[in-house]
Amino acid sequence: MATITEPAARPVPQITTHEVARPRQTKRWVDWVLTTDHKKIGIMYLVLTFVFFCMGGVEALMMRLQLSVPNNTLVTSEHYNELLTLHGTTMIFLFVVPVWAGFGNYFLPLMIGARDMAFPRLNALSFWLLAFGGIVFYATLFWHPPDAGWWSYPPLSEALYSPQNGQDAWIFLIHITGISSIVGAINFYVTIVNMRAPGMSWNRLPLFIWGMLVYSILLIIALPVVAAAVTMLLTDRHFGTHFFDPTAHGSPVLWQHLFWFFGHPEVYIMILPGFGVISEVIPVFSRKPIFGYKAIAAATAVIAFLATLVWAHHMFASPVPVVVLGFFMLSSFLIGVPTGVKIFNWIATLWRGSIVMTTSLYFAVGFIAIFTIGGITGIFLAIFPVDWQLNDTYFVVAHFHYVLMGGAVFTVFSAIYYWFPKMTGRLLSESVGKLSFWLMFVGFNMTFFVQHALGLSGMPRRIYTYQPGMGWSTYNLISTIGSFILGIGVLVTILNVARSLRVGTIAGPDPWKGNTLEWFTPSPPPVNNFDEIPRVRSVEPMRDIRRQVERETGVTQRTGGSERFARSG
């Protein structure tokens, strides 16, 4: 790819960071277990969540295989219900939410010019709680995994209908990962509020950090509610209470309100840091400032507020008065506006830019293309009479995979290709990355676009098999083939990572001409991140530094060699 092993001119001659190294006294793995360094914890988060991502992916492929043809007997109905519960719970609680904690841990202190998180030990605690929660949950594979779905509606999740202990393991997963996320969220919040570099006022905060800030606030608001709800479910199951038991004047609808009061902010918890990544990646590779910084930051904050007011749009078919349905339709419409504004701003950032087509940008643009579709189908679902037809069908499955798989996961991949050089010092292979992107993009649309049609043809979610002659068979087969293409695409990136770790091109401190302070440090950054923390004068401090160097040296830099991706000269 490039002969440059070290950039011709160091992008920032002022970098004067020294590794503060003590002579090694412990074994290497002990270092990792005992570490409180935000970068090591971040990497552990990323590795662990990717293991869970692969497990959730395998579960999804098993379900797709089962549904590929009518009357299939590959998986029994019991196992299918277990698979859908494991898949949903894993992807949400063990992958998308904590993967942002992983990126946040690694890059949040670097981007705001801090030397570590505010509470390094709490940081380690939150990682190990996540690992513990995942182990508790997956240990059920050896007896009886939960099978009432990731939403676990009572009475089905009550002891009478789900007597197995798998359901209790699910409750403890919510508790343990919930504590992990809350501890992490408080840590992020305190770090952002108190430890920014000199000069980094709120209107100079990188947009990824805005995303992480709102992510933290929403976690702090939403998680206690679900913690209360699952505790009530636990006491219902084992200690004789009747919160959700209709035979004793409890209400199953109460669970739905509590669960979705958490569940909908959770959606934004999963996507807002991704929005932040896109808001970093697109300006860097368009060689343009972000279009409408204030609008994007404001939209993030508005989404945080509205996210707590839309929960009942998950309950349009439940016994809820029509006036309530109307309110939640309007609030769901409202939240579409700031989300739409963000999409417009990203496209406007690309507009008249000088776009460098890197893999990271491919994933970012793929995200916009896919997320737009997910946003549009979201409007269909917000119209409650239309939702009466579409709710609980494959149309909904398609919708939320467009926003979460095509949305969150594509932003995660964009972030991987963008930040891998910073974390490891080596670039990922661009050509392999683009192959991975095309496999994922085509596979994704093949899998999920036809699921809209499935829902419109009347196929409900969560059924383990179906009869031939319903008009569903062709769509299901296409969807299954697509899911395997998608799976191969993910695998290609995993292989790319494994290979590039050893043989990838040396990246140098700033391979992309980044805008934010993480590119001011060597790759990978030393334990203390910065010797000297630069003064921040704009949203793009790294660009200012680069300009200043150019002024002082009189040399226009071929920094880090990112020009090679432009293929222009």
Partner 1 sequence: MRSEVPDAPPARRRRLPRGRAWATRLALGLPALGVALGASLLFAPDALANFITPKSGVSENAREIHSLYMVTLYLAAVVFVIVEGALAYSLYRFRAKRNRVAAQIHGNTRLEIGWTLAAALILVVLTVVTFIKLPSIINPPNSDASGLALSASVAQPTPPDGKKLTVCIQARQYIWRYTYGTDCRNDAFNSKLPYSYTMMEVPEHTTVVLSIQSSDVIHSWWVPSLGGKVDAVPGYTTYTWFKALTPGLYHGQCAQLCGTNHAAMIAYVKVVTPEQYQAWLKTQQQAITTASSQVQQLRQILTSEGNLGS
Q: Which of residues 206-245 bind partner 1 (CB under 8 A)?
A: none
189, 362, 444, 512: residue in contact with partner 1 (rule CB under 8 A): 362
Query: Where in 78-117 is the site for partner 1 (CB under 8 A)?
Result: 78, 81, 84
**Catalytic residue selected from 37, 82, 116, 168:** 116
45, 259, 466, 530: residue in contact with partner 1 (rule CB under 8 A): 466
Residue 159 half-sphere exposure toward CB, CA atoms < 13 A: 12
**Catalytic residue selected from 85, 140, 191, 279:** 279
DSSP class of residue 404 equals I
Residue 376's contacts (CB-CB under 8 Å, 6 or more residues apart) are none
- SS3 of 221-255: the string is HHHHHHHHHHHHHHHHHHCCCCCCCHHHCCCHHHH
Q: Does 72 bind partner 1 (CB under 8 A)?
A: no
Q: Tokens at residue 384, please?
A: 């409650």
| CB atoms closer than 10 angstroms to residue 261 | 21
165, 461, 528, 544: residue in contact with partner 1 (rule CB under 8 A): 461
Angle between helix 359-382 and helix 322-350 axes, rounded to 10 deg: 160
Phi, psi of 460 (to 5 degrees): -75, 160
Query: Where in 3-22 is the site for partner 1 (CB under 8 A)?
Result: 3
Q: Does 295 bind partner 1 (CB under 8 A)?
A: yes
Q: Does 70 bind partner 1 (CB under 8 A)?
A: no
Using the structure block, give the residue that is written with the tokens 């401090």: 541
**Catalytic residue selected from 64, 175, 314, 564:** 314
91, 92, 148, 179: residue in contact with partner 1 (rule CB under 8 A): 148
Q: Does 261 bind partner 1 (CB under 8 A)?
A: no
CA distance 43 to 45: 5
Query: Where in 503-542 is the site for partner 1 (CB under 8 A)?
Result: 505
CA distance 286 to 346: 10
Residue 288's contacts (CB-CB under 8 Å, 6 or more residues apart) are 349, 352, 353, 354
Q: Is 19 a catalytic residue?
A: no
Do the beta carbons of residue 472 and residue 70 sit within 8 Å?
yes
CA distance 256 to 311: 9
Least distance from C-beta 230 to partner 1, angstroms? 18
Q: How many residues bind partner 1 (CB under 8 A)?
A: 105
**Alpha-carbon distance values, 77 to 80, 192, 464 (Å):** 5, 47, 6
351, 468, 535, 537: residue in contact with partner 1 (rule CB under 8 A): 351
CA distance 24 to 5: 28
| CB atoms closer than 10 angstroms to residue 562 | 21
Q: Does 330 bind partner 1 (CB under 8 A)?
A: yes
24, 502, 551, 567: residue in contact with partner 1 (rule CB under 8 A): 567
Of the pair 273, 374, the CB lying nearest partner 1 is at: 374
Query: Where in 163-202 is the site for partner 1 (CB under 8 A)?
Result: none
Of the pair 94, 329, the CB lying nearest partner 1 is at: 329
3-state SS assignment for residue 310 = coil
Of the pair 141, 463, the CB lying nearest partner 1 is at: 463
Least distance from C-beta 103 to partner 1, angstroms? 24
**Alpha-carbon distance values, 349 to 170, 207, 461, 534, 546 (Å):** 43, 14, 38, 27, 21
Q: Is 27 a catalytic residue?
A: no
**Catalytic residue selected from 38, 39, 87, 401:** 87
Do the beta carbons of residue 293 and residue 274 sit within 8 Å?
no
**Catalytic residue selected from 342, 399, 513, 546:** 342
Q: Is 126 a catalytic residue?
A: no
Least distance from C-beta 97 to partner 1, angstroms? 23
Stretch that binds partner 1, among 89-97, 135-143, 166-174, 370-378 (CB under 8 A): 370-378
CA distance 206 to 226: 30
69, 74, 253, 506: residue in contact with partner 1 (rule CB under 8 A): 253
Q: Does 425 bind partner 1 (CB under 8 A)?
A: no
Least distance from C-beta 18 to partner 1, angstroms? 31
Q: Is 116 a catalytic residue?
A: yes
Residue 146's contacts (CB-CB under 8 Å, 6 or more residues apart) are 82, 85, 86, 89, 140, 152, 162, 164, 166, 167, 169, 170
Stretch that binds partner 1, among 184-192, 258-266, 291-299, 303-311 (CB under 8 A): 291-299
Q: Tokens at residue 547, please?
A: 């300009």
CA distance 291 to 279: 9
Stretch that binds partner 1, among 103-111, 132-140, 367-375, 407-415 (CB under 8 A): 367-375
Of the pair 463, 555, the CB lying nearest partner 1 is at: 463
Q: Is 461 a catalytic residue?
A: yes
**Catalytic residue selected from 64, 264, 422, 564:** 264
Amino acid at 306: L
DSSP 128-141: HHHHHHHHHHHGGG
Q: Does 564 bind partner 1 (CB under 8 A)?
A: yes
294, 535, 537, 547: residue in contact with partner 1 (rule CB under 8 A): 294
Q: Does 393 bind partner 1 (CB under 8 A)?
A: yes
Catalytic residues: 87, 116, 150, 180-181, 264, 266, 268, 279, 313-314, 339, 342, 461
